[in-house]
Amino acid sequence: MHLRRLIVAAILVPLLFLYVTRLPVQYFFYLITAVAALGLYEFYTMFRLNVVMKYLGIAWGVGVMAAFFLSLADMYALSLLAALFFLGLRLFLKPDPASSMQEAATVLLGLLYVPGLLTFQLTLAQRSPSWIIFLYTSVWAADSAAYYIGKNLGRYKLYEAMSPNKTVEGAFGSLLGGVAGAVLIRTALLPQIGLAQCAVLGAAIGATTIVGDLVESMLKRDAGVKDSGNIFPGHGGILDKIDGSTFAGPVFYWVCLAFGLLQ
């Protein structure tokens, strides 16, 4: 398992780097929109959503990504429109009011949780591909450090009710890994970032990567599933792979804004 993680990272990190830096930004839009659509499919499948609402929700999610990429709308307006549409759809879709709140809430939460959070990465990519490389390198470094430190040194459970394998030591490893990944990428791609700023950005990514992982574990336990999907045999689904970056992306964006780095 340890070797497999290293091999996957050794393959995916250079591929993402080449894809993001060598191709126009619209190709990142295609990639992240495909990820959002697959993530929504897994989310709605986990919670056994009505098939009509499921596929219309996925279509709406693709529309959210397109609207943000083309600067046609903001999340507040799209969320209100989604609430109007899907509540009205549920009203006429089934005459039985039972579970209507659950079904409508599932659609709307999925839209906020998957494409809603991923839109921040679209904004980062439009500013510069280097920000995406910064984000993902730090997330992968945080995730890897959390895994190895937690596996070898972990003694104290972090939040056993949500994820019995997470440890306090692994959480500190995530912080350290996030900082190490950030410093590495700063040296290679973004030397204009101050070292102290870089450390704060890396720590923020490391912390939110852990939170994102725990949130997805919470949702999976509520849905009664072990993995979000099986697109990666033996490794779970798309949501299992992006749980950290979905949360880290918005926080990274906000901290960058606070430091004046995205002006």
Q: Kindly state the average pLDDT of the residues 118-130.
A: 94
Q: Kindly state the average pLDDT of the residues 150-165.
A: 90
- 255 falls in which pLDDT band (50, 70, 90)? very high
Does 263 fall in a domain? no
Does 222 fall in a domain? yes
Q: What pLDDT score was predicted for residue 237?
A: 85
What angle in degrees, to the nearest 10, is found between the helix axes of 168-188 and 195-223? 130
Does 220 fall in a domain? yes
Does 73 fall in a domain? yes
Average confidence score pLDDT of the chain: 91
Does 97 fall in a domain? yes
**Domain tally, the chain:** 1
- 139 falls in which pLDDT band (50, 70, 90)? very high
- 83 falls in which pLDDT band (50, 70, 90)? very high
Q: Which domain range does residue 168 map to?
A: 2-258
Does 16 fall in a domain? yes
Share of the chain above pLDDT 90, in %: 75
What are 186-239's pLDDT values in tens digits?
Answer: 988 899 899 999 999 999 999 999 999 999 999 999 999 887 877 765 567 899
Is the pLDDT at 39 greater than 90? The verdict is yes
Is the pLDDT at 17 greater than 90? The verdict is no
Amino acid identity of residue 104, one-letter, is A
Is the pLDDT at 244 greater than 60? The verdict is yes
Q: Roughly how many angstroms between the first and final C-alpha of the chain, as a whole number?
A: 42
- 4 falls in which pLDDT band (50, 70, 90)? low
Q: What's the CA gap between 164 and 47, in Å, rounded?
A: 22
Q: What pLDDT score was predicted for residue 232?
A: 62
